[in-house]
Amino acid sequence: MKPKHSCITLFFFISTISLPFLVSSQTCQRTCGQIPLKYPFGSGPGCGDPRFQKYVTCNDQKFTFTTHTGCYPVTNIDYTNHVIYITDPSMSTCACTQPSKGFGLDWDAPFSFHDDNVFTLLDCSINSSPIYKSNNAYNSSAVPFCDKKGASICSFLYSCRAISMLNLPISTCCVYTPVDLGPSFEMDLQKLQCSSYSGFYSFSGQDYNPENWKYGIALKYKFNVYNDYPSSCANCEKSNGACGYSGAYDTFICSCPSGVNTTTDCYFEASFNNAPRLLPLQTEKVLLQSDRCILFSISTTAGRLVHISSILIKYYRIWNS
């Protein structure tokens, strides 16, 4: 069994060099903290859909949504209904009030407000805020109105201790729904002359209990004009890959658990008995092939070493089991 012995030596040589790189070799991650990452979201540049990458990224296992008004932690994603839930740390809730500059979506981002969102502007200046001046006849369409039907929401919010302690007249509270946000999708509190806001997307079935409302912002997203899920990506995800893109034309790639990128899916990694399928996907040349050992030429880059060694480890495990 001499060939096997030299093969093992080589295996150790390669794996020792590249072991530090082996930790999480999949370029595009499939989770960020507790949140599963699926199309169109990705963990970083080259991952997910290029239209979304700019706005949503994973840093230090924290999934963050970015707009021109700030960075917001993503709390959940409903992939079935295409809704992403975020929180705004500067937002007031039943438990805590604080000053805020507001919230806005970038006009060119593939997101819009979910209909379930309710925003309440708090502590708006009755004398100078445009929300109270908007009833003048000639300019009424330029500025939003407070939703008078939402007045009860203000009453409930005022039952929260934190908000009642602000000691403000309830007339300075304005319920503001996304339809009113205007074409710039902007809730600019400085312009509106309000000192803070609160937002929630669910009453949790307890309209009368603002303590249990779900505070945060729900945003809808659309993949593209037809909102269809690319089938190439579905296959990639089914095979434990993560969808990404590369090159000048943002061509689809599937980032596989071993660190290899393919143009299809990662099923080849699960079926190692089917060695010929693997070969076209590798840029490394096969120098020598015996029935017990495959020797790849060792390319100089660390990235390639990672590919080779992780594949060799899998071969080694299968052949020795």
Q: Which residues bind ligand NAG (CB under 6 A)?
A: 27, 46-47, 130, 138-139, 142-143, 244, 246, 253, 255, 261, 303
- Least separation in angstroms between CB 47 and ligand NAG: 6
- Least separation in angstroms between CB 25 and ligand NAG: 9
Phi and psi for 80 in degrees, rounded to 5?
A: -70, -45
Q: Between 143 and 311, whose beta carbon lies closer to ligand NAG?
A: 143
Q: Between 91 and 189, whose beta carbon lies closer to ligand NAG?
A: 189
- Least separation in angstroms between CB 82 and ligand NAG: 23
Query: Omega before 40 cis (within 30°)?
Result: yes
Return the SS3 of 7.
helix
Residue nearest to ligand NAG (CB): 46
Residue 285's closest CA among 295, 275, 276, 271? 295
Q: Between 142 and 318, whose beta carbon lies closer to ligand NAG?
A: 142
- Least separation in angstroms between CB 253 and ligand NAG: 5
CA separation for the pair 162, 110 (Å, rounded): 35
Contact 55, 184 (CB under 8 A): no
Q: Between 57 and 255, whose beta carbon lies closer to ligand NAG?
A: 255
CA separation for the pair 319, 210 (Å, rounded): 61
Q: Between 172 and 255, whose beta carbon lies closer to ligand NAG?
A: 255
Q: Which element (helix H / strand E) includes 254?
A: strand 251-255
CA separation for the pair 12, 207 (Å, rounded): 64
- Least separation in angstroms between CB 281 and ligand NAG: 11
